[in-house]
Amino acid sequence: MNYKIALIRGDGIGPEVVEQAVLVMKAIGKKFGHTFTYEEILMGGCATDQVGKSYPDGTAERCKACDAVLLGAVGGPKWEGLSAQQRPEAALLAIRRDLGLYANLRPATLRPALTDACPLKKETAEKGIDLMMVRELTGGIYFGKRDRYDTQDRGVECTDLMAYSEKEIERIGRRAFELARLRRHKVASVDKANVLETSRLWRSVMHRLAEEYPDVAYSDVLVDNCAMQLVRDPGQFDVLVTENMFGDILSDEASMVTGSIGLLPSASIGDSAPGLYEPIHGSAPDIAGQDKANPIATILSVAMMFRYSFQLPDEATAIEAAVDGVLGEGWRTADMARMGESVVGTCQMGKLICQKL
């Protein structure tokens, strides 16, 4: 089978980590008999520099002509002074909206070889961490109406509106319950229903869904408590489902408890192709171009692409096993190395994973 993949290499370390992921796809293609064709798409700060727009016209259409999108990272200090609409982050929000990518899956897994890298107590780490954050990605405060105006007596005032409809909540909730069925059959829904009306609606829709999935153990967790539980005992969670901004914050927290943000992939999917796959780390401009970045998060994002966009679980598992194999042999990039471990660069790490495949 041939798959057409849109490559958004982006800014900072984006191009370097995408390059290694492409080599891994090549190795998978050889092993399992697939071919890949690539569509290079310019987006982010590099697009601003080259064509004057972080989200060039036709970006979404070009992505829609592909089976999946692989993104490195966008953004960096160079573009921070630009207006809200011009910033590289605006391109990221636009592509999520235009491709209808309402479900963002962010697994936080403590890989067996890296139990030592977990910053939590040894007993906690040894219980293991394997949770899936399901973040609503195209609604809530990120996409609500914003305003900025002068007042007579309070200076400038701003508002950001958080709105959620039953329909939006139900579709993300369903994703979470369906995923739980493929995992350990547990869903925790995170909200702030003791304060927010959107959360009260969120909770009532989730309760309705929970009745449709009696085989899945359901619980409500308040967002502040969830932040605490993630560092106290992350092993208790299987699938966590939450709204856009809570998910943004909690997914960074969850990533950190697994030791290195350089390891975690993500998938953003909607009701139709293409899905978008990207590492959850950013563009890391401080180490860009130095062959220091960890390519594993992007490589594991490719595994998610095989699993969720192409329904090829064996290919996905092969990539994950190759990553675990290389880590098990003690190979580390600088971000996850401890004293005495052998440090390799971006290219070498990619090569080792390809060899394992």
Instruction: Choose the contact partner of 335 out of Mg ion, ligand IPM, none; CB within 5 to 8 A by kind.
Output: none
Residue number of the CB closest to Mg ion reads 248
What is the residue whose two structure tokens read 């961490």?
Answer: 129
State the catalytic residue, choosing from 11, 55, 192, 356. Answer: 192
The one-letter amino acid code at 207 reads H
Q: How far is the CB of 73 from ligand IPM (least distance, A)?
A: 9
Across the strands, what pairs with 37? 4
Active site residue 11: no
The closest alpha carbon to 36, from 309, 350, 328, belongs to 309
- Distances from the Cα of 152 to the Cα of 146, 155, 157, 215, 277, angstroms: 20, 7, 10, 57, 47
CB of 187 closer than 8 Å to CB of 217? yes
Instruction: Choose the contact partner of 168 out of Mg ion, ligand IPM, none; CB within 5 to 8 A by kind.
Output: none
State the catalytic residue, choosing from 67, 248, 277, 292. Answer: 248
The one-letter amino acid code at 163 reads A
Q: How far is the CB of 251 from Mg ion (least distance, A)?
A: 6
Report CA torsion sign: 289, 291, 296, 301: positive
Q: How many binding residues for Mg ion (CB under 5 A)?
A: 1
Active site residue 220: no
CB of 300 closer than 8 Å to CB of 319? yes
Active site residue 49: no
Q: Please state, as a whole number, how many other Cβ atoms lie within 10 Å of the Cβ of residue 72.
A: 28
Instruction: List, as one string, the DSSP characters of 156-213.
Output: EEEEE-----HHHHHHHHHHHHHHHHTTTSEEEEEE-TTT-HHHHHHHHHHHHHHHH-
Q: Chain-centre distance of CA 338, in angstroms? A: 25
196 — phi, psi (to 5°)? -100, 140
CB of 65 closer than 8 Å to CB of 8? no
- Residue placing its CB nearer to ligand IPM in the complex, 11 or 248: 248
Q: How far is the CB of 335 from ligand IPM (least distance, A)?
A: 18
- Residue placing its CB nearer to ligand IPM in the complex, 60 or 337: 60
List interacting residues with ligand IPM (CB under 6 A): 89, 92, 248
- Residue placing its CB nearer to ligand IPM in the complex, 89 or 243: 89
The closest alpha carbon to 132, from 234, 11, 16, belongs to 234
Instruction: Report if residue 89 touches Mg ion, rule: CB under 5 A.
Output: no
Q: Return the residue of 16, 248, 278, 315 that touches Mg ion, per CB under 5 A.
A: 248
Q: How far is the CB of 223 from Mg ion (least distance, A)?
A: 15
- Residue placing its CB nearer to ligand IPM in the complex, 261 or 323: 261
Active site residue 324: no
Q: Using the 8-state DSSP alphabet, how is residue 309 labeled?
A: I
Active site residue 224: yes
State the catalytic residue, choosing from 49, 116, 224, 314. Answer: 224
Instruction: Choose the contact partner of 63 out of Mg ion, ligand IPM, none; CB within 5 to 8 A by kind.
Output: none
- Residue placing its CB nearer to ligand IPM in the complex, 88 or 295: 88
- Residue placing its CB nearer to ligand IPM in the complex, 274 or 279: 279
State the catalytic residue, choosing from 142, 186, 233, 291. Answer: 142
Q: Which stretch binds Mg ion (CB under 5 A): 81-89, 174-182, 211-219, 244-252?
A: 244-252
d(CA 12, CA 257): 24
Active site residues: 142, 192, 224, 248, 252
Binding residues for Mg ion, per CB under 5 A? 248
